Amino acid sequence: MRFISPKTDFAFKKIFGSSESKEVLISFLDALIYGGKSRINNLEIIDPYNAGYTTELKDTYLDVKAILNDGSTVIIEMQVLNVPAFDKRVIYNLAKTYSTQLKYGEGYSKLKPVIALTITDFTMFEQTDRYLTRFVFKEDQDNFIYRNQHLSMVFVELPKFSRSLEDLETASEKWIYFMKEAPNLEAIPNTLSEIPEIAQALTIANQANMSSKDLEELHKREVFMEDRKGEIRQALEEGKQEGREQGREEGKQEGREQGREEGKQEGREQGREEGRLLMQGLISRQLEGKLGAIPSEILEGIQQLSLEQLEALGVAMADFTTSVDLSNWLRDKQ
């Protein structure tokens, strides 16, 4: 057997976001959000995914939304690329989902909790070695939780997970192992098949059960994501190289106090401008991938944005569907 990676959008939504995925998704959420306890009796997948074929690849992230039996909404997102302002986008999507629950005239008592479950294929939090973390509102000094826990974020960082198949114990460990290692398996291991929903997920991910057109679509998605990873790696390497050159240049000025101070200031300004240009190029490529060809006058508007405005654009672009949305956003920033 050979299994496709659940980290691609084609597989992720087919496994967790289709109309047949209810039991799989319940098991997945119980494991990662509720520590393996059976808290979810039922759920409704919002806009169920129907596996189709694309002529153009646009998005570098994907999500599945579900409403639980208690009325809570869960946003499940698989993020492969560490793109600019991603951390802000998670908060934005969480807050937006919470704030748009109410219909006109409804009171705040109608609001239900929203949970953002985010799985990343990169490290987000260097401060801890834990691969599963949870964030809620807490008081800064005494560390007590806010009166309600309506907004929470759960993160799974796949690179931090290193348990072997033989060492898996909990349901969360088994699901995370599935997310990370499915393409490396040659059969459905007994350890994972102890959870029927993981066995079902692996059956869906089995290449033998997919058509040649499915596999071709999958290959297109994988190439697309690898190309985007390469762009980010190149941008980071260029930034490091420019930083090294700038540091050497500043070192030459150490003999002159005034020159050194001016050099530091100039270096900071230059570094900020170089960082702005790198982010501008990356966001422009992402926008073209998401929206298609961008008119030259809009690209000129993006070139005029400050670093802070580019970060804001990196968050806002998640809601753009056409270049008109982008044009309106730029006009509001003028």
Cα torsion for 166, 169, 170, 173, to the nearest 10°? -30
Q: What is the structure's pLDDT at 112?
A: 96
Q: Note the pTM of the prediction, 2 decimals.
A: 0.69
Domain-wise residue ranges, the chain: 9-210, 216-333
Q: State which residues of the chain have pLDDT below 50.
A: 51-61, 255
> Cα Rg for the chain, rounded, in angstroms?
23
pLDDT of residue 191: 95
Q: Are strands 114-120 and 151-157 parallel, antiparallel or unpaired?
A: parallel
Q: What is the DSSP letter of 297?
A: H
pLDDT tens, 243-302? 666 655 655 555 455 555 555 566 566 667 777 788 888 888 888 877 888 888 888 888
pLDDT score at 258 = 54
Buried b (16+ CB within 10 A) or exposed e, 51-89: eeeeeebeebbbbbbbebeeebbbbbbbbbbebbbbeeb
Structure confidence at residue 232 (pLDDT): 58
Q: Tens of pLDDT along 57-79?
A: 444 445 789 999 999 999 999 98
Contact partners, residue 188, CB within 8 Å, separation at least 6: 1, 199, 202, 203
pLDDT at residue 53, rounded to an integer:
44
Residue 262 pLDDT: 56
Q: How is residue 133 written in tokens?
A: 């973390």
In the numeric block, the tokens 């639980």 are attached to 68
